[in-house]
Amino acid sequence: MTTIARLSAYSNWLKEYTEYRNVVFTLVSVSFLSVAPLGYHLVVLNVPEKVIQSALNVSMSINFQWSMTDAEISIFWPVVVSSQSVGALLACLLIVPLWNRHGTKTCVMMINNVVLLVGSVVMASAAFFEFALFLIAGRIIAGIYTGLASTLVPLFMRELAPSPIKGALSCCMHIAVCLGVMLAAILSLDFVLGTATLWGLLLAVPAIFGILQMILSVFLPDTPNHLLNRGDHKRAASSIQFYYGIVDERDERVIARYREVVTKMPEQISYRDAIADTETKWSIFVGVVVSAAQVFCGSMATLSYSTSMFTSVSFMSALIEFLPAFGAILSAILTLPALYLVEAYGRRLLFLSTLSACVISDFCFMLFSLLSQQFAVLGPTVWSVLFALSFLLYGVGYNLGVGPVAYFIPGELVMPEAASVALGAAVAVNWFSTLITTMVYYPLNVAIGGWSYLLFAVPSTIFVLFLWRYLPETKELYRKDLELESFFTYGKPDEYGPTVWSVLFALSFLLYGVGYNLGVGPVAYFIPGELVMPEAASVALGAAVAVNWFSTLITTMVYYPLNVAIGGWSYLLFAVPRYLPETKELYRKDLELESFFTYGKPDEYGAFIIRHY
Q: How confident is the model at residue 464 (pLDDT cuts 50, 70, 90)?
A: very high
Top pLDDT among 537 and 78 is at 78
The yes-or-no verdict on residue 536 having pLDDT over 90 is no
Indicate if the alpha-carbon torsion angle 137, 139, 140, 146 is positive or negative.
positive
Give strand ranges (E) for 331-484: none
Of the pLDDT bands very low, low, confident and very high (cuts 50, 70, 90), residue 604 is very low
**Contact (Cβ atoms closer than 8 angstroms) between residue 207 and residue 116:** yes
pLDDT at 113 over 50: yes
Secondary structure (3-state) at 243? helix
Cβ-proximal residues to 312 (8 Å cutoff; 6+ apart), any chain: 369, 373, 445, 449
For residue 597, pLDDT beyond 60: no
Per-residue confidence band for 303, with pLDDT thresholds at 50, 70 and 90: confident
Residue 333 confidence (pLDDT): 81
Confidence band of 299 (pLDDT split at 50, 70, 90): confident
Nearest to 354 by CA among 395, 398, 403, 290: 398
Per-residue confidence (pLDDT) for residue 473, from 0 to 100: 79
Q: Report how far apart, in Å, the C-alpha atoms of 523 and of each of 123, 517, 580 are.
A: 54, 9, 13
Residue 491's closest CA among 476, 479, 478, 504?
A: 476
Which residue would you say has higher pLDDT here, 419 or 601? 419
Taking alpha carbons only, the member of 17, 69, 2, 8 closest to residue 339 is 17
Contact (CB, 8 A) for 327 and 50: no
Say whether pLDDT at 377 is over 70. no
pLDDT at position 445, please?
A: 82
> What band does 137 get if pLDDT is binned at 50, 70 and 90?
very high
Across 150-164, 199-213, 304-318, 544-558, which has the greatest mean pLDDT? 199-213
**Collapsed DSSP state (helix, strand, coil) of residue 490:** helix
Name the band, by pLDDT with cuts 50, 70 and 90, for residue 414.
confident
485, pLDDT greater than 50: no
What single DSSP character describes residue 223?
Answer: P
- Roughly what angle, to the nearest 10 degrees, separates helices 2-19 and 21-43? 100
φ and ψ at 129, to 5 degrees? Answer: -95, 0
Q: What percent of the chain has pLDDT over 70?
A: 71
**Which amino acid is residue 461, in one-letter code?**
T
Q: How confident is the model at residue 506 (pLDDT cuts 50, 70, 90)?
A: low
pLDDT of residue 522: 62
In angstroms, the CA 180 to CA 188 distance is 12
CA separation for the pair 357, 508 (Å, rounded) = 9
Instruction: Tell me the mean pLDDT in the region 244-256.
Output: 79
Please give the Cα distance from 294 to 351 (Å, whole number): 10
Question: What is the crossing angle of helices 419-448 and 454-470, to 10°?
Answer: 150
> SS3 for 215-276, per residue?
HHHHHCCCCHHHHHHCCCHHHHHHHHHHHHCCCCCCHHHHHHHHHHHCCCCCCCCCHHHHHH
Residue 568: is its pLDDT beyond 90? no
Helix (H) or strand (E) holding 507: helix 500-515
600: region left, alpha or beta (phi > 0 left; psi from -120 to 50 alpha): left
Query: Is residue 611 packed enough to be buried (19+ CB in 10 Å), middle (13-18) or exposed (0-12)?
Result: exposed
Helix residue spans in 47-188 (DSSP H): 49-64, 70-91, 95-102, 104-106, 112-128, 132-160, 166-170, 172-187
Question: Comparing 19-23, 137-141, 354-358, which segment has the lowest mean pLDDT?
Answer: 19-23
Domains of the chain plus CATH, in order, are: 22-220 (1.20.1250.20), 271-514 (1.20.1250.20), 515-612 (no CATH)
Question: At residue 218, what is the residue type?
Answer: V
Residue 205 binned pLDDT confidence (cut-offs 50, 70, 90): very high
Confidence bin at 544 (pLDDT 50/70/90): low
Give the distance between the most distant pair of CA atoms in the chain.
Answer: 97
- The per-residue pLDDT for range 164-202, each reduced to its tens digit, is 677 677 777 878 888 888 898 889 888 888 888 888 899
Is 50 exceeded by the pLDDT of residue 247?
A: yes
Sign of CA dihedral 64, 65, 67, 72: negative
